[in-house]
Structures are given as structure tokens and as C-alpha cells.
Amino acid sequence: MNDMHLALHGVAIKKHAAATVVAGAVGLSEARADSLLKEAATGGRVVEAQGGYVLSPAGRMILDNQYSRFYGELRADQAFVAAYDRFERVNVELKQVITDWQTLDVGGQKVRNDHSNKDYDAGVLDRLGEVHERFEPILAQLIRGLPRLAVYRHKLESALEEAERGQVQWVSDAKIESYHTVWFEMHEDLLRVLGRAREE
Amino acid sequence: MAFELGPHTLAIDGSALPDKQLIGGKAWSIARMRALGLSVPPAFVVTARACTGFLESGAMPDGLADELARGIAWLEEASDCRFGGSGRPLLVSVRSGAAISMPGMMDTVLNLGITDATEAALAGATGDARFARDTHRRFLDLYARIVLKAVIPDLDEHATPADWRKVIEDAGGAPVPTDPRAQLLAAVQAVFESWNSRRARRYRQHHGIPDTLGTAVTVQAMVFGNLDEQSGTGVLFSRNPLTGERAPYGEYLARAQGEDVVSGRYTPLPLSALGAQMPAVHAELLTAAATLERENGDVQDIEFTVQAGKLFLLQTRSAKRAPAAAVRFAVDMVNEGSIDEATALSRVTAEQVRTLLSPRLAEGAAAAADCVAKGEAACQGVGVGIVVTNTDEAERRALAGEAIVLARATTSPDDVHGMIACRAVVTEQGGATSHAAVVSRALGVACVVGCGDGSVTALEGRLVTVDGASGCLYAGALPVVAPDENAEPSLAALTRWAEARAPLTVLADGGPDALDLTSVDGGEDIERLPALIAGHGCVRGGAIASDGGVRAALAAGVRVIVASPRLPVLLAALEATREQA
């Protein structure tokens, strides 16, 4: 593993993010991420715009070609891959829970959930908590294989706790690190690490 | 008093309403329905006091097993069924029930009481051996997961109960007791233990709920909608939850159990099918719905089962409703004299009115148009724009002011920035739970998913209209209209009532001296509003008309908001006032 790869990987996961955010996502120090991304910008691998970084087409190609090299050992780690397969099964449930959070079934028709029905919301949040608890041992196994994934544990927990406190936007708001935002970034991270394609 | 079976257990016979703290919300609701003379499957409850005792001492209260036996005997008598024996079998559900519902409590265990012997009896009673076997499987599955807390694989539908028990034991679970009375005691204890689950403790801590309250456990006889031709199951809304029309609305499945409705294996019939087959039951159901609506002061969503020609109400709650129905329920119930205006206003949200007033395809526009792709409707709304398949290009052009529709095979976190900027998002793969669907709904962007490989990316460069309600993409720009809040009498009534109570004035236009946030840097950012609007008495534009904007305006002492439509702003202001109270 090298730090430049991690920095580019962080930009792929956290598009348009500042160096501090990229650092937090992949476990680099802020100073290190900042200097690496400046170097990458000079080398034409990333482009800086409005304080955030995106990969250049060349940067993207270089990054995509590095995964198999850096994660070859992990891809052969049976415990890690088995944990990933369990994650994919939980992922199906999680997506359903998030969808149920966003939509109400009213007499067979789907309408937008405006969160005025507290009982309904409480039921869905309870299910989200259940899915989270079932995912915890799986994540622990993934972290044993790739320690930097621990960052997701903290982010998922804090999003869940915010939601349980009544801050409804922490379930699926796309503009903050809501439970779904973090879950999806983690999914993207795992897909890249393992060289898998997303299946919807 | 619901009569005592012992110091820790009450039979719910409807003779009086016990303390909700003691018996929990679920049992309280059953007791209340029985007190109203409605037909509910018989139930008894282990009180929260028994739970407190268990939590203090770590042991089940003395004599609880005997009390459970007396409770079961009472259910047997009331239902004319036998628990764990031959003859018509008594199966029960076991559920947690604190006075305040909270996450992390034990899920409901269903079909407790099924054994090899009772499975045979159930098969005989229903004439459906497959159902009896499946009931047995579902019980073992729930018991293993919930009570034994074992992580088990799915139980193979074609295997035998002995196989399933072995799978559970092999998966590290304790053996499932063969005696249903032992199962019941273990299930009750599991409910008590769930009071101290990590999530329940965290929730109580956040909400200042004492850890000493404890939870009650409700044990209720199960009824079977698949017993014979005079049986079935269904859902009834006391009014139409889609349109708001004052007419009962529901579905009925003859000869089916509740899970059949959920599974989608059967097509439900309209409620009139029940009326045609069993008019007396149908009439009783409608009377019960009217009673529950009147007693609860709101439209009800009622789950029911008919067992051998007898009606049982399983659950009632305030109905979920579409925006149009929310408005009509509220206004109609005021006109009928059943709720006051303030209550009506608390039942319609700003978001529901915004949805009702959001732009839609003009009447008849779709009929004449060419549908160039069709998928699953994932987020309502209409988006007109040029199809772009490269997310970065879509974002760039959208930010430059072009109307863009983003078309992708699938989306990933990499695409979110483009999705934020576009008028609509369409994908080729994935369904209602796909990333594109979830993110679009979170953003409120019109979205159609799963249009099929090659379907929408091939439209690159074309002008299309995406209808997120029907799931269709139409060629060209179809006419779009926004409903008028003043033209609709029920919205006008709500506006009048809201104006009389709102803590600030909302004008549709005017306010020449208003601060216009549209021309202020950061005016779209709720976080920055407090600093920007401080000291201004009248504000318009930017994010001021959103729920967060209205809250900020109230906090800053703004007296007038200029926005159209007005009703959502008024409702948001009333909501903010209620939150503070």
C-alpha cells in the first residue's frame, strides 16, 4: 500500500472533498493528505475546483489499475471475502429499510414519507438499529482484514445515534454523512478493494 | 379491573382499563377495544412490575410459571382451543409492550404453542397440512432468532421440524424446548431481558425515560383466517387514505392468513367481497371502524381476521395517508365537528401541501406524447431537460444553467454531485431500493429506475420529460402545470385557519422593503440564515420558505415572510410553535 494510492482512493470515494475530508476517509493525517493531493494535482491526477478534489481521467485510470496490486492479498483472504459476502446480504435489507424510511405504503400506493407519522418512523428506525447490530460483527471481521475500515464503524454509529435522537435527516440525507451516505461510501470502498462490480 | 390471575398477571377482559404504565401500550389498546365492546382475540398481560422484579433480582418472579398457566387456561376457555394438546390448537403471540414504545425491544414471537402434535391438529382443523408445517417452521425460525438469539441460516421449506431443530442446535443455539409452556416462560424472560438491550438503554438515556419502568409482555390468542370458507383476513381504512373520501376502503383475502397479504402470493379483493359473502361480518366491521375513528378522533387503519364467520380486530392505529387525503380528512373532520381547527392544522404538514402543489404534467399531455422509455417510478416529480450520460458533464452543464436529465446504467456515490444539479435522474438497472432511487428521494429529484439495458443512455442529447409519478420518459418538453392553492377550497380553509393562529404574517407577494435572500450569498443555506436575517422584519427568497428557514425566521423575530404558496409556510410556522411548546 502506498499513501498516494490511498489519497486517490479517498478522492474516488469522497468526490469534491477537501484534503481534510479525504484524510478522514482513508486514515491519512491531514497534512499528509494535503501534500499528496497537491502533488497529484501538479502531476495531473486530480483537479482542484472550489476547494475540493476530483480525479482526472488519467488519475482515475491509474487508480483503477492499482487496486488489484495493492489488494491482491486481501482478495485471497477467505475470512475477509466471506464477511464481504455477508455484508452484501445485509445490504439488501438495509436498502429496503432506507426505502421504507423514505416512502409510505398507503393502501397499496407509494407516497413520500414526510415523517409526520412518528409511530411509523419509530418502527423503521428500530429496524435500522437491528440491521446495524447484525452488521457489527461483519464489520469487525472486515476491519480485521483492513483496519482502515474502522472509520466507517464510528460514522455509522454516530449517524444512527443522531437519528435515534430525532434528527431524521441522519438516516438518508444525501448531502450529509447520513447512515445511507456512509453505508454507500463503504460499499463503494469495498467494491473497489475487491474489484467487484455493483449489482443493483 | 381486568381481573388478576396472580400478583404479576392480568387477564384483559375489558371490564376496566388498567394503568398503561403497568400493562404497556399494546395491552392497553386491546383492553380499550374490549371495553368498547369490540371483538378482539383474548389476551393476558404480564405486568411491567414483574419485569422490574426480574431486573432487580435477576430471577423470574416466584410463581410466574403458575400464573402463565392460569393465563393460558383463561385463553383456552375464551377461545375454545387447547394449548399444546390435541383438539383445536391454541397458538399465541408474545410481544413486548412498554408504556412508551422504544427501539431495541424484543420482536413479536408468533405461533407459540405449535409442536409436532399441534401441527397435526392444525393441519386437521384447517385441512391444509402445508400451512401447518409452514407455521411450525416460522415459529422455530422466530424462536431461534428472537428468544435463543441464534444466528441461523434460512430454514429449508421442504425439510422436517426435526431437521429444523437440528439446524438451530448446530448453529450454536440452545435446543428449542419441546414443551410449549417452557417456550412461553423463556419468551417472557427474553422480553424482560430486551429491556436492557444496548439500543433500548441508549434510547431511554436520550429521552430521559427511567430505566426502572420495565416492560410488560402481552400474550394473545392467535386467530386463523385460513380455517375454512368462512374465514379470511384484511385491512380496513375508515376513510379512503389516497383520496380522503369519506368512505371505507380496504382489502380482503378469503381463506388466508396475514402473511399471505404481505407475501403478495394472493391478489386481495375489495372489501365489498366480504360484504357479499358475509354481510353481517361486513356490517360489524364498518361499525367497529366508525367507533374506533370516533374514539380516537382520527382516521383508522384496522387489521382484522375473520375466523369461522367471527370477526376479530387485530390492531388499529392512525392511518397513514397520501397528501390529498391528509388535507381532506382534516377539513372534513372539522366540518363534521369531530376535531377542532388547531388539531386539523396539526395533521397536515407543510411537506404534504408542497407535494400537492408541486408541478405536474398538464391534464391530457401524457396521452398525446410518445413514451420513449419506461421504468419503475422511484421519486415523484416532473423533470424536463436534455439527456446527458456523463455525470461530470451533466453537473457542469446544469450548473451553467441548462436543464439536464442525468441518465446512467446505475449510479454510485461518484454521481451524487451530478444528481443534485439535475432536473431528473433515470437509470437502466435497479429497483425501488437502488442507490439512484434512495438518493433521488433524499434530494427530492424526479427519478425513474430500471428502464432496461441500453434504454435511457441511448437517449443522449435528446430533450425529454421525465414523469416520476408514472415512470415514463416522454419525448420533448410536455406542458407542466402547478396547482393553485387558492383554487382548492379545502386548502383555502386551512389557510384561513392557519392565518388566524400563525405567529407571523405570510404574503404571496409585495413587501418592497423585504430582504431578498435570493440575491444574498448563502441565502440558500439554512445554517447561515440566522446571521443573514438578524434584524430584518420582512424576508423573502432563498431558503426562507423551507421548514428550517421558517424556524430560523421565527427565532430571529421576523414578522413577515413573502412566499408563494403561502400555506406551507404557515403550517411550518405553526409546527415550529408547537415544537417549542
Judged by CB atoms closer than 8 Å, whether chains meet at B349 and A200 is answered as: no
Q: What is the CATH number of the domain that holds A8?
A: 1.10.10.10
* In chain B, residues 356-385 whose CB comes closer than 8 Å to chain A: 377, 379-380
Cβ of B248 under 8 Å from any chain A Cβ? no
Judged by CB atoms closer than 8 Å, whether chains meet at B320 and A106 is answered as: yes
How far apart CA B479 and CA B474 sit, in angstroms, is: 11
Chain A residues inside the 8 Å CB shell of B325? 106
**CB-CB: which of A54, A102, A129 is closest to B441?**
A102
Give percent of chain B with pLDDT exceeding 70: 98
pLDDT band, very low/low/confident/very high, at B246 (cuts 50, 70, 90): very high
Domain identity same for A79 and A155: yes
- Boundary residue ending a domain (B194, B221, B248): B221
Domain identity same for A185 and A99: yes
Domain identity same for A79 and A63: no
Domain identity same for B505 and B574: yes
Domain identity same for B37 and B179: yes
What pLDDT score does B261 carry? 64
pLDDT band, very low/low/confident/very high, at B265 (cuts 50, 70, 90): low
Q: What predicted TM-score, i.e. pTM, was given to this entire model?
A: 0.87
Domain identity same for A79 and A149: yes
Does B341 map to a domain?
Answer: no
Domain identity same for B426 and B374: yes
Does A175 map to a domain?
Answer: yes
Q: Which of B468, B435, B529, B376 is nearest to A174 (CA)?
A: B435
Cβ of A136 under 8 Å from any chain B Cβ? no
Does B352 map to a domain?
Answer: no
Chain B residues inside the 8 Å CB shell of A184? 412-413, 435
Domain identity same for B117 and B169: yes
- Structurally, chain A folds into a number of domains equal to 2
Q: Average pLDDT, stretch B202-212?
A: 90
* In chain A, residues 74-93 whose CB comes closer than 8 Å to chain B: 92
Contact B348, B74 (CB under 8 A): no
Domain identity same for B274 and B366: no
Which chain A residue lies closest to B262 (C-alpha atoms)? A108
- Structurally, chain B folds into a number of domains equal to 4
Q: What is the CATH number of the domain that holds B251?
A: 3.30.470.20
B108-123 tens-digit pLDDT? 999 999 999 999 999 9
Which chain A residue lies closest to B318 (C-alpha atoms)? A117
B220-229 tens-digit pLDDT? 999 999 888 9
How far apart CA B504 and CA B486 sit, in angstroms, is: 20
- Boundary residue ending a domain (A70, A93, A117): A70
Q: What is the CATH number of the domain that holds B174?
A: 3.30.1490.20
What pLDDT score does A114 carry? 86
- Boundary residue ending a domain (A70, A89, A123): A70
Domain identity same for A158 and A91: yes
Domain identity same for A13 and A90: no
Contact B456, B478 (CB under 8 A): no
Domain identity same for A85 and A36: no
- Boundary residue ending a domain (B200, B221, B242): B221
Say if residue B409's pLDDT is above 50.
yes
Domain identity same for B426 and B529: no
**E strands in B341-455:** 360-361, 371-374, 376-379, 382-388, 404-408, 424-427, 446-449
pLDDT averaged over every residue in chain B: 93
Does A143 map to a domain?
Answer: yes
Does A63 map to a domain?
Answer: yes
Domain identity same for B243 and B214: no
Q: Average pLDDT, stretch A81-108?
A: 93
| Single-letter amino acid code for the residue at B115 | T
Chain B residues inside the 8 Å CB shell of A116? 347, 349, 351-352
Q: Average pLDDT, stretch A93-102?
A: 95
- Boundary residue ending a domain (A52, A70, A88): A70
* In chain B, residues 4-33 whose CB comes closer than 8 Å to chain A: none
Cβ of A104 under 8 Å from any chain B Cβ? yes
Does B336 map to a domain?
Answer: no
| Single-letter amino acid code for the residue at A186 | M
Domain identity same for B202 and B136: yes
Domain that holds residue B440: 360-481
Domain identity same for A9 and A104: no
Say if residue B384's pLDDT is above 90.
yes
Domain identity same for B173 and B249: no
**Complete edge-to-edge strand list for the sheet that includes strand B515-516:** B505-507, B560-562, B538-540, B515-516
What pLDDT score does A107 carry? 79
Q: Where are the alpha helices (DSSP H) in B367-434?
A: 391-399, 416-421
DSSP secondary structure string for all residues of A71-125: THHHHT-HHHHHHHHHHHHHHHHHHHHHHHHHEEEETTEEEE--S--HHHHHHHH
Q: How far is A152 from chain B (nearest CA, A)?
A: 15
Domain identity same for B465 and B534: no
Cell of B182: 417452557
Domain identity same for A96 and A18: no
* Range name among A161-170, B68-77, B158-167, B510-519 with the lowest pLDDT average: B510-519
Q: Which of A132, A125, A171, A99 is nearest to B102 (CA)?
A: A125
What pLDDT score does B152 carry? 85
Does A45 map to a domain?
Answer: yes
Domain identity same for B282 and B304: yes
What pLDDT score does B64 carry? 95
- H/E stretch holding B334 reads helix B323-335
More confident residue, A16 or B94: B94
Chain B residues inside the 8 Å CB shell of A92? 433
Contact B313, B233 (CB under 8 A): no
Chain B residues inside the 8 Å CB shell of A102? 438, 441-442
Say if residue B260's pLDDT is above 80.
no
Neighbours of B401 (CB within 10 A): 7
Does A165 map to a domain?
Answer: yes
Does B19 map to a domain?
Answer: yes
Domain that holds residue A186: 74-194
B496-512 tens-digit pLDDT? 999 999 999 999 998 78
Does A200 map to a domain?
Answer: no
Domain identity same for A184 and A103: yes
Neighbours of B93 (CB within 10 A): 20
- Boundary residue ending a domain (B175, B192, B221): B221
Domain identity same for A110 and A182: yes
Q: Give the orientation angle of helix B547-555 with respect to helix B567-580, to 10 degrees.
A: 60
Give percent of chain B with pLDDT exceeding 90: 80
How far apart CA B310 and CA B230 sit, in angstroms, is: 8
How far apart CA B564 and CA B137 sit, in angstroms, is: 57
How far apart CA A89 and CA A182 sit, in angstroms, is: 17
Domain identity same for A145 and A159: yes
pLDDT band, very low/low/confident/very high, at B1 (cuts 50, 70, 90): very low
Cell of B222: 392467535
**Cell 445490504, residue located:** A91
What pLDDT score does A33 carry? 95
Domain identity same for B72 and B194: yes
